[in-house]
Amino acid sequence: MSAESQQPGVLRSAANVALSATSNLKTALGVGVTAKDTQLQQYTKTVDGTKLTTEAGVPIAEDNNSLKAGERGPTLIEDFQFRDKMAHFDRERIPERVVHARGFGAHGVFELYENLSQYTRASVLTDTSKKTPVFVRFSTVAGFRGSADTVRDVRGFAVKFYTDEGNWDLVGNNIPVFFIQDAVQFPDLVHSLKPEPHNEIPQAQSAHDTFWDFVTLIPESTHMLMWIMSDRTIPRSFRNMNGFGVHTFRLVNAQGEAHFVKFHWRPVLGTASLVWDEAVKIQGADPDYHRRDLWMSIEAGDYPEYELGVQIFDEATAASFPFDVLDSTKIVPEELVPVRYIGKMTLNKNVDEFFPETEQIALHPGNIVPGIDFSEDPLLQGRLFSYTDSQFHRLGPNFQELPINRPVCPVFNNLRGGASRLAIIKGRVSYQPNSLASGCPALNPQGYRHHTVPVVGTKTEKKPGGFADHYSQARLFYNSMTQTEKEHILKATSFELQKCSSLEIRQRVVDQYNNVDFHLASQLAENIGANPPAAPAQIDERGAGVKESPGLSVIRSLPANTIRGRRVAIVVAPGFDSSALTVHAAIASAGGLPFYVAQKAKPVPDSQGSTVVPDFTVSATRSVLFDAVFVPGGAQAVQPLTEDADFVLLVAEAFKHLKTIGAANEGVELLRRAALPGVTIASLNDSATPFVESLGVVSTGSFASAVPGGVVGKVASGALGGLEGLVSKVLADPNAQPTGFVDAFVKSIAKHRCWEREPLAKKIVA
Ligand code: HDD
């Protein structure tokens, strides 16, 4: 049974059954069975057909009533079953991660497209025949374990590669830069971001005084502030999110030659975000929105995929850049070093149990393998201490022995003892060098060697000179945004600062932002009651390396050619017409997820007498949980929908959030009732026009006019076969022009949002 179908108010439909059948089929075919899966099997138990025992294996006859002296008590301490059960329960929780406490993980495989032996001897990056098992944990940074998924925050994107030369962890974020340059400031940064210590408010928010107080006192945060105030920090899903290793690392080849490298992850489904009002509402409608999406897509066999990219450059090239590649507040623009996509990660298995896998996974940027090395980036250097220390605290000294952390290659060394040690190692030797065990475990000449780097200079706390440019790349980021994205940065910052009580801090943000853009700072001042800057700040922009980098903009980079994973609500009431089935089939055939939404949790008959089983009732869901809405026609079907405020809200809110709305035949009446600004619904007229699209609203030609961002349409019954072909054609070729309603609807969904509609959407009350 899928996770979603277990939720109250969520019904199990034929579509869901089909999805889990696919998943079972994949499992039966052995897709995703890796060395790590086989290893984990040794520790995995199922309860089917078993009988209850204590942890000591003693069979249990009574578990619901404790042992008492007489029926009316008191309870006896000799009830070992009660004592053990209670004592274990009392210790079920371990310290949550001090940052990135809320996370969600999955297993998968990494496959390499091209051999990088010119640069590295790491087998994971040189052997294209290998399928390296991986575990990924996505996370938010600030919130506690129980916080909501869609808060504005950086997302962790941490991958453990179980290579045959040991574990390599790429512990990155969905943003390629960081707030600070030196790890010594990390505790201060985190203290400022977390809930304030006196009252532990607010939860999972940077919108409060202490955060903005701190970041306005450290100008190196400016670049990252632009990123976190952008829509990158409210991703649509983990499947629509980039990942970055952030730091510059080194690749070292078999000859001992080193190159610098930056790591990137690119989601195959494209990068996409929520809009802010939607993100806020999802926090209430489904706090598990991101984890549920990941879980369900894997259960459905629609495996999330990410391509691994590298930017490789030598030290001389690095020296020619106007910024320092050891500074984690800087990117290396793609225009200077293009990203080469060298492999793909596919997430194909959900965990069997959250705690032993996702909670106990111990990720650490210090876990590297021969052929990969660190750079001298002071932020990275500090991380190398913090993570092991953190794992000792959370999981104890033998955390590497936990099943999820075990490498898939042999492990032999002279570490011994410590709490909860598992390995039993024969013999009396636990030191090196030794002769009593013939020198074993012996040193391996092919083993890890640190790359030799000449070091000169004076012992000092000073930063390198190149770390002093705090604004040129912040400007590069801002200037690379579309107007829509610039407005979102302004709105997000204005929102956050309205939650800051200190006028002095608000003013400092305006002054800091003036180093990025005069207009942005002036508008911000206007919004938050601060003084506007007197004049633009004079900044030497050459430090950025390039003037503009379109790839930094999500809107400019979105490949508009897939609806995979997009959720479409099809509203149905008794008597709905056949367009619902046509659209349902077309969405599913294009890899989208169609769901029937009805008034009641019982089968809904269509105009021909057959029925569909609703997936959701309208009162138990909300438009924010879908990417598009479709309203079929049907003479009797639409009238009750127009009289139910929940359905009217479903359409109005989808419009506000710039989503595609489709309506066929009488279905346009629900759009009329929602009073969509800028949308004029003409009278019913069976004209030959196949559809009208305007601003993401698509309809049968005769019903809608001047509808920004939507589709309304009339769908000929029995036309599914032809429509299916058209749908795949418009998705394969982004320039293909839709000729029918369904392909226009699907193509509009693939665009994700209709940004042109935003000025009108502001007018809608939803
Ligand atoms: Fe960190 C967890 C990413 C700087 C100290 N960090 C953690 C996780 C991610 C990152 C994704 C969660 C891993 C998981 O899912 O278990 N951290 C980053 C990135 C950074 C960064 C991309 C900057 C480039 N972190 C950073 C610094 C320090 C830490 C400078 C300390 C000096 N991070 C930690 C930690 C955590 C952690 C306290 C919390 C629990 C854990 O490690 O396992 O050690």
Which residue has its alpha carbon closest to ligand 1 atom 34? 387
Above 0.90 for ipTM, yes or no? Answer: yes
Q: Which ligand 1 atom is nearest residue 382's CA?
A: 32
Q: How far from chain centre, in Å, is Cα 611?
A: 36
User: Per-residue confidence at 693, pLDDT binned at 50, 70, 90?
Assistant: low
Which residue has its alpha carbon closest to ligand 1 atom 30? 183
State the distance from the centre of ligand 1 to the C-alpha of 84, rounded, in angstroms: 35
- Residue 5 and residue 594: Cα distance in Å, rounded? 15
pLDDT above 50: residue 757: yes
Annotated binding site: 387
450-467 per-position pLDDT tens digit = 999 999 899 999 999 999
Pick from 239-248, 280-289, 307-316, 700-709: least confident: 700-709
Please tell me the predicted confidence (pLDDT) of residue 658: 93
Q: Which ligand 1 atom is nearest residue 389's CA?
A: 44
State the distance from the centre of ligand 1 to the C-alpha of 476, rounded, in angstroms: 26
Which residue has its alpha carbon closest to ligand 1 atom 37? 99
Residues 6 or more apart from 549 whose CB is under 8 A from it? 333, 334, 335, 476, 480
Which residue has its alpha carbon closest to ligand 1 atom 35? 387
Q: Which ligand 1 atom is nearest residue 158's CA?
A: 11
Which residue has its alpha carbon closest to ligand 1 atom 20? 172
Query: Ligand 1: which of 386, 392, 400, 402 to mutate, judged by most atoms within 8 Å of the beta carbon?
Result: 386
pLDDT above 60: residue 749: yes
State the distance from the centre of ligand 1 to the C-alpha of 173, rounded, in angstroms: 9
- Residue 289 and residue 521: Cα distance in Å, rounded? 34
195-229 per-position pLDDT tens digit = 999 999 999 999 999 999 999 999 999 999 999 99
State the distance from the centre of ligand 1 to the C-alpha of 258, rounded, in angstroms: 26
Which residue has its alpha carbon closest to ligand 1 atom 18? 172
Q: Which ligand 1 atom is nearest residue 173's CA?
A: 22
What's the token pair of residue 169?
């962890």
Annotated binding site for heme: 387
Sign (positive or negative) of CA dihedral 462, 464, 465, 466: negative
Cite the active site residues.
100, 173
Whether 2 and 20 have beta carbons less than 8 Å apart is answered as yes
pLDDT above 80: residue 692: no
Please tell me the predicted confidence (pLDDT) of residue 723: 38
The mean of the pLDDT values for the chain is 90
Mean predicted confidence (pLDDT) in 126-145: 98
Mean predicted confidence (pLDDT) in 85-92: 96
Please tell me the predicted confidence (pLDDT) of residue 696: 63
AA letter at 600: K
41-54 per-position pLDDT tens digit = 999 999 999 999 99
State the distance from the centre of ligand 1 to the C-alpha of 97, rounded, in angstroms: 9
505-526 per-position pLDDT tens digit = 999 999 999 999 999 999 999 9
- Residue 693 and residue 702: Cα distance in Å, rounded? 11
Which residue has its alpha carbon closest to ligand 1 atom 25? 383
State the distance from the centre of ligand 1 to the C-alpha of 98, rounded, in angstroms: 9
Which residue has its alpha carbon closest to ligand 1 atom 28? 383
Q: What percent of the chain has pLDDT over 90?
A: 78
Q: Which ligand 1 atom is nearest residue 246's CA?
A: 24
DSSP for 525-544, written as a single string: HHHHT-PPPSS-----GGGG
Identify the residue with better confidence: 678 or 133: 133
320-376 per-position pLDDT tens digit = 999 999 999 999 999 999 999 999 999 999 999 999 999 999 999 999 999 999 999
Instruction: Name the DSSP class of 558.
Output: -
What's the token pair of residue 217?
């006192």
Query: Ligand 1: which of 98, 100, 331, 360 to mutate, judged by most atoms within 8 Å of the beta carbon?
Result: 100
Whether 133 and 408 have beta carbons less than 8 Å apart is answered as yes
Q: What percent of the chain has pLDDT over 70?
A: 88
478-491 per-position pLDDT tens digit = 999 999 999 999 99
State the distance from the centre of ligand 1 to the C-alpha of 246, rounded, in angstroms: 12
User: Per-residue confidence at 707, pLDDT binned at 50, 70, 90?
Assistant: very low
pLDDT above 60: residue 713: no
Please tell me the predicted confidence (pLDDT) of residue 74: 95
Residue 565: how many other CB atoms lie within 10 Å: 21
Which residue has its alpha carbon closest to ligand 1 atom 15? 137
- Residue 760 and residue 677: Cα distance in Å, rounded? 6
Please tell me the predicted confidence (pLDDT) of residue 28: 45
- Residue 28 and residue 26: Cα distance in Å, rounded? 5
Whether 105 and 358 have beta carbons less than 8 Å apart is answered as yes
User: Per-residue confidence at 685, pLDDT binned at 50, 70, 90?
Assistant: very low
Please tell me the predicted confidence (pLDDT) of residue 727: 46
User: Per-residue confidence at 760, pLDDT binned at 50, 70, 90?
Assistant: confident
DSSP for 606-651, written as a single string: BTTS-EE--SEEGGG--GGG-SEEEE---TTTHHHHHT-HHHHHHH
State the distance from the centre of ligand 1 to the C-alpha of 95, rounded, in angstroms: 15
User: Per-residue confidence at 751, pLDDT binned at 50, 70, 90?
Assistant: confident
State the distance from the centre of ligand 1 to the C-alpha of 543, rounded, in angstroms: 28
416-430 per-position pLDDT tens digit = 999 999 999 999 999
Q: Which ligand 1 atom is nearest residue 391's CA?
A: 43
Which residue has its alpha carbon closest to ligand 1 atom 26? 383
Please tell me the predicted confidence (pLDDT) of residue 719: 35
Q: Which ligand 1 atom is nearest residue 184's CA?
A: 32
What's the token pair of residue 763?
């007018």
Task: Ligand 1: list residues with CB < 6 Å.
Answer: 97-100, 103, 137, 139, 156, 158, 171-173, 178, 183, 186, 246-247, 328, 363, 379, 382-383, 386-387, 390-391
State the distance from the centre of ligand 1 to the C-alpha of 387, rounded, in angstroms: 7
Mean predicted confidence (pLDDT) in 283-296: 97
Residues 6 or more apart from 93 whose CB is under 8 A from it? none
- Residue 106 and residue 124: Cα distance in Å, rounded? 19
- The number of residues making up the chain comes to 766
Query: Ligand 1: which of 135, 361, 383, 393 to mutate, judged by most atoms within 8 Å of the beta carbon?
Result: 383
Whether 277 and 656 have beta carbons less than 8 Å apart is answered as yes
Q: Which ligand 1 atom is nearest residue 387's CA?
A: 44
User: Per-residue confidence at 39, pLDDT binned at 50, 70, 90?
Assistant: very high
